Structure 1
Amino acid sequence: MQVSVEKTSELSRKMTVSVPEAVVQEKMAERLKSLAREVKIDGFRPGKVPQQVVKKMFGDRVRGEIASDLIKETYYDALEGQDLKPAGHPHIEPLDETDGFKYTAVFEVYPEISLDGVDQLEVKRPIATVSDSDVDSMIDKLRDQKQTWHLVDRPVQDQDNVTICFTGTTEGENFTDGKVEDFQVVCGLKKMIPGFEDNLVGLEAGTSKTFQLSFPEDYGNEKLAGKAAEFIVDVVKVEEPLLPEIDEEFVKAYGIDDGSIESFRSDVRNNMERELEQALRSKLKGSVMDALYEKIQLAVPNTLVDVEVENLMKPYIETAKRQKMKLDDLKLPRDIFEGQAKRRVALGLILGEIIQKNAIQINADKVRSTIEDIAKSYESPEDVVNWYYSDESRLNDVQQMVLEDQAVEWLVAQAKVSDETVEFSDVMDKQQQQVS
């Protein structure tokens, strides 16, 4: 076997593998001899078919099968002999040869990664605490979640829930498919196009109003984007928000058996502190990743980027399928995911190199504590822990996450770290934006 490698770009390689005709003929003779004992051909007794007849009838097919086998047999040996580490699957193309067998394999290789400078990263570590006012704000949010709507006989005010029927036309064409019945709008949430909710303020149940608005230029429906429209709205009913009292009944609904406000505030604070700790770790990790990505520049294999782009698109595609949308209507161009995909691939390769070079091993205790932290937010934590440990793939996901966190801890230990005091709300609001 002869092997030659051509470097076609920084990461692309074209490997040519040649196998002598003698090897091909030897394998063909073995295959044809075996085939002669099995085939049935008119005019010949079973097992007595001359090999030249078998070769004439099945030679091309057998040679094709042998070519496929030779690729399987020689490809990885050729890679090992050339000390090549391909990223992704190769594109293999057999070449027409009258003497021997030859094929080319085109693929990308993993980049060489230099870790010079990883011990000089400059990282900001956020520091925050949960204050009494933060607890008050959280309890207010919990009250908002329990709010009910109370029917009122007065004009619409901001924050009211208004039930309406309406029609909309643009350029003389009705775009609401007739009349929309019993549609609910909470004034002030700005979920309608700009100006719509403002036009409801001051109206009373049983009244109507006609007004003109323009759809935003970036409106999701291209047929309506930027166009002027006329709306005719009938107000059906007006409801104001009614917030519950923070009393024993309210507190017990959140699992506080003694129903006391003190126990409730303590439980809320504990949950907030746990969430804050996770958010601060995430923020620190993000800071480390930003510094690492900026410090170590490397080309990434397109093959791996393609896979990561598909992973990023998958949730959108699954959502579209659930909503029975056509995938073509999603309008998800590759370039909106490509930057994030390249970053993920690059950081994955860099962290992998750090883990390998520094012999970082998975800490089983940290895996256990991570799973237990995840389980705390469920009704039966022990069942959740057992669920993870009962499935190798689920456990592996957590192990990889912990191993990555250990690599980040190693980087933090080497880095120049400066503490930065931040507000609880700033940390959690940004964390929520990233999640959503």
Structure 2
Amino acid sequence: MQVTETLAEGLKREIKVVIPKQDMEAQLNVRLADAKDKVRINGFRPGKVPVAHLKKMYGKSIMAELVNEIVRERPTQILSERGEKSATQPSVGMTEDEAEAEKILNAQADFEFTLSYEVIPPIELKSTDGLSVTREVVEVSEDEVNEQILKIAESARSFETKAGEAADGDRVTMNYLGKVDGEAFDGGAAEDAELVIGSGRFIPGFEDQLVGVKAGDEKTITVTFPSEYPAANLAGKDATFDITVKEVAAPASVEINDELASKLGIESADRLREIVRGQIESQYGNVTRQKVKRQILDQLDEMYKFDTPQGLVDAEFENIWRQINTDLQQSGKTFEDEETTEEEARAEYRKLAERRVRLGLVLSEIGEKAGVEVTEEEMQRALYAQLQQFPGQQKEILDFFRNTPGASASLRAPIFEEKVVDQLLSEINVTDKTVTKEELMAEEEGNSDSATKPAKKSASKKKAAKAETASAEGAETADEAEEAAAPKKKAASKKKAAEDSAE
């Protein structure tokens, strides 16, 4: 086998591989000899079929299998011998001339093919002595725990039917039918819908018009959908809702005690407090973690400057761009609405893609040198988390990860990345700083992507910034499911959210 480098331009490589026809024929003869004792052909005793006859009957098909094996296996061998790592799967080029291909299959011509790929650039790791981060920490107060428990108690409170008019805080059970321009719209109707007046679950103006209604009343409510309503066909539109009141119920008193905890499936009020405190601490901890990680990535971004494989950048950019366009489509906005142009946005997100790829390669090198590994148990937990996100589709998800090459990398990459961040945190200077929850959250909400530092902020840009990951194996999506075109602001009830929280 002759291997000749025909292109070495930046990170791009092209290799010409030639396997002489006599070598191909020799490998073919070995396989024919092996097949001689296995095939059964009428008119010949087992093992007595002439090789020439076998070659005539099966030579081309065996040679085709041999060619496929070479194309599948040799690129890895060649790159290993060259001490190179390909950023993406090498592109294999072979002759498209039918006559030439026929000669190769008949062992009458050398088998030639080319490999085109980009190499992962060598990365010389630098000392982490100069790295430092400030870890913002929020101390959870008893008042905050009590406030959250009170919200849970209120969402789980019982209601008792009343005969009078509905007042703020009462629960109204009703049927409704929504119309725009006199026509009913999808998702705008419901029966036995429950709504607590003042909860803010329905679009602005709807709940206020329920004050004073009684069981049996029929009423038409007029509202205007917010201009940024998720359903673009309803955003900013005037609408009417014909309602029939089925029941008005007053809220029972709220008490935080063991009985409340028992309703939520928890053994005691003290245990409920522990759970709620832990959830609040976890929420703040997640924000703290992301901000610390951002500091690390920003410093690594300053430390490492090198050319990135454009194949990886292109793939990463396409992930980001698909996300951004989905966000715009769901919100019914354009780039002009976001105070930018498509050209400017493309340039900006191209920079973000380059940053992600570069930092992904750096973290990969750091992790490899530090011996960071992702265990099978961690992969199984990640897979289980994926299955939980798609109830009823477990089989399809499992089949996807089993049968799709590289799919498991989407599970492994974020785990590996977080473990590398942990490794760095064990090496660098970390200073804890106590802050208020407002300070922790306010900065996070207004934070833009530090890689690109855009001058203008938009909803889609903020979402992309929050979704930033250094992994070169796929951008984290930040897509949100479009809400139903009902008067609700949120699909899940507060009671369900509270029950989920308490669990």
**1:199 matched to 2:194:** no
Residue segments in structure 2 that go unaligned for 5+ positions in a row: 96-100, 323-329, 333-345, 379-407, 446-462, 467-477, 481-503
Kindly tell me: are residues 153 and 42 of structure 1, through their superposed partners in 2, closer, same or farther at Cα, counting changes over 3 Å?
Answer: closer
Aligned to 2:82: 82
Aligned to 1:353: 365
Please report how far the alpha carbon of residue 76 of structure 1 lies from its aligned counterpart in structure 2 after TM superposition: 2.5
Equivalent residues of 1:2, 1:19 under 8 A apart: yes
Distance in 1 (CA, whole Å) between partners of 2:178 and 2:67 is 67
Please report how far the alpha carbon of residue 267 of structure 1 lies from its aligned counterpart in structure 2 after TM superposition: 4.4
Aligned residue pair count: 379
> CA deviation digits over 1:83-116, x for unaligned, max 9?
1112454343433465311223344433433544
Aligned to 1:188: 198
Equivalent position to 1:109, from 113, 116, 119: 119
Kindly tell me: are residues 160 and 18 of structure 1, through their superposed partners in 2, closer, same or farther at Cα, counting changes over 3 Å?
Answer: farther
Matches within 5 A, 1:275-294: 275=282, 278-279=285-286, 282-283=289-290, 285-292=292-299, 294=301
Equivalent residues of 2:158, 2:252 under 8 A apart: yes
Equivalent residues of 2:157, 2:251 under 8 A apart: yes
Equivalent residues of 2:14, 2:117 under 8 A apart: yes
Aligned to 1:423: 436
Distance in 2 (CA, whole Å) between partners of 1:41 and 1:104 is 38
Please report how far the alpha carbon of residue 24 of structure 1 lies from its aligned counterpart in structure 2 after TM superposition: 0.9
Please report how far the alpha carbon of residue 344 of structure 1 lies from its aligned counterpart in structure 2 after TM superposition: 6.2
AA aligned to 1:410 is: S
Distance in 2 (CA, whole Å) between partners of 1:35 and 1:343 is 54
Please report how far the alpha carbon of residue 146 of structure 1 lies from its aligned counterpart in structure 2 after TM superposition: 3.5
The 10-residue stretch of structure 1 (78-87 or 198-207) with the greater mean CA deviation from structure 2:
198-207
Equivalent residues of 1:143, 1:243 under 8 A apart: no
Distance in 2 (CA, whole Å) between partners of 1:177 and 1:132 is 41
SS in 2 for 1:103: strand
Distance in 2 (CA, whole Å) between partners of 1:24 and 1:85 is 27
Equivalent position to 2:172, from 162, 167, 187: 162
Identity %: 28
TM-score, structure 1 length as denominator?
0.66
The 10-residue stretch of structure 1 (426-435 or 265-274) with the greater mean CA deviation from structure 2:
426-435
Aligned to 2:17: 17
Distance in 2 (CA, whole Å) between partners of 1:300 and 1:189 is 52
SS in 2 for 1:232: strand
Please report how far the alpha carbon of residue 229 of structure 1 lies from its aligned counterpart in structure 2 after TM superposition: 2.5
Please report how far the alpha carbon of residue 265 of structure 1 lies from its aligned counterpart in structure 2 after TM superposition: 9.5
AA aligned to 1:282 is: R
AA aligned to 1:85 is: K
Kindly tell me: are residues 143 and 288 of structure 1, through their superposed partners in 2, closer, same or farther at Cα, counting changes over 3 Å?
Answer: same
SS in 1 for 2:23: helix
Matches within 5 A, 1:211-226: 211-226=221-236
Residue segments in structure 1 that go unaligned for 5+ positions in a row: 314-328, 368-392
TM-score, structure 2 length as denominator?
0.59
Matches within 5 A, 1:19-418: 19-36=19-36, 38-39=38-39, 47-72=47-72, 74-95=74-95, 96=101, 99-116=109-126, 118-121=128-131, 123-175=133-185, 180-247=190-257, 249-250=259-260, 267=274, 271=278, 275=282, 278-279=285-286, 282-283=289-290, 285-292=292-299, 294-295=301-302, 296=304, 299=308, 302=311, 346-357=358-369, 359=370, 400=416, 403-410=419-426, 412-413=428-429
CA RMSD in angstroms comes to 4.9
Distance in 1 (CA, whole Å) between partners of 2:186 and 2:279 is 44
SS in 2 for 1:102: strand
Distance in 1 (CA, whole Å) between partners of 2:14 and 2:217 is 75
AA aligned to 1:288 is: Q
